[in-house]
Amino acid sequence: MLQSNDLKGIFVPVVTPFTQDGELDLPSFERYLGQLLRHPIQGIVINGTTGEAPTVEWAEVEALFEVARTVIRRLGVRTPIIVGTGTNDTRTTVRRTAAAGEWGADAVLVVTPYYSRPSEEGTFRHFQAVVETGTPLVAYEVPERTGIRLSAETMERILTLDGVIGLKDATGGIDLLHALAGRTEKPMMAGSDDTFARMLRRGASGGILASAQFRTEAFLEVNRLAANGLFDEAEAAFSKLLPLTRLLFRETNPSPIKWMLAQSGILASDEVRLPLTPITRSLQEELSAFL
């Protein structure tokens, strides 16, 4: 199981491949992980935002987890697996978190409850209930997708809970990271790809970054430079990654990433489940330059 001091470096949230008729494509997933895990990344996230968590059934998440564990064993690597278990229903989140722990997940990623728009006290109690499962938990703050933005005070309360090992900060800026500086010893991971280098300079311990599926070694180098205090060099190196990173988020994640993976022959299809749709022809043309 992951501990707070393990939450550093580059974690890659992986896609969930589908066939053209919308079914789970486990052969593509196995091939994809075989490519990705040849890089010395610090972990992967299954069933996160990039994995289309809202439209993936829980039995499918278990199947993905089993394939990931098999690939990791076959390659002889020790890559931790974080499983996204967060929903807007506390009871469902508790059940899923307990199940992921029983499977052997190293930690879970739990998003702040979306759609229901709970109070900050309700959100705190949501996390308080989930940590009772005993599975290490990474809190995930992503206001653009959930419709709520927690105060630094509430996030600090969440981070004080035993079992919460850190935070994925996808707020799109550095304000929360700055506000929490000196108020918690729990690690904070960059979750908005284009702010990665700035967040490292402000004290982030690494990133959970969808765009790190591509040019993975370059992302690892940015993190290495920052870990050694070479922040100017890290930002200069990251500036070379920004054009691709921004293109990958021009349209809704993970559609652009899936298109790139399919064009590279790693996935059999760029299929996404409705209400997501494949990327536009204009974005295809721009992304083709990076292939």
Q: From the candidates 168, 186, 240, 258, give the one annotated as an active-site residue.
A: 168
Annotated catalytic, 32? no
Buried b (16+ CB within 10 A) or exposed e, 148-168: bbbebebbbbbbebebbbbbb
Distance CA 25, CA 29 (A): 6
Mention every residue, 6+ apart, whose C-beta is less than 8 A from residue 153. Answer: none
50 annotated to a ligand binding site: yes
Distance CA 126, CA 251 (A): 31
Q: Which two tokens stand for residue 75?
A: 């390659």
Distance CA 245, CA 211 (A): 6
Residues recorded for the chain:
291
Taking residue 135's Cβ as centre, other Cβ atoms within 10 Å add up to 26
Pairing of strands 164-169, 188-190: parallel
81 annotated to a ligand binding site: no
Q: From the candidates 8, 32, 140, 186, give the one annotated as an active-site residue.
A: 140
Annotated catalytic, 186? no
Distance CA 272, CA 19 (A): 9
Q: CA 136, 42, 268, 247 torsion: positive or negative?
A: positive
CA quadruple 150, 152, 153, 156: dihedral, nearest 10: 100
The burial of 210, by beta-carbon neighbours within 10 Å (0-12 exposed, 13-18 middle, 19 or more buried), is given as buried
- Residues annotated as catalytic are 140, 168
Annotated binding-site ranges for pyruvate: 50, 208
Annotated binding-site ranges: 50, 208
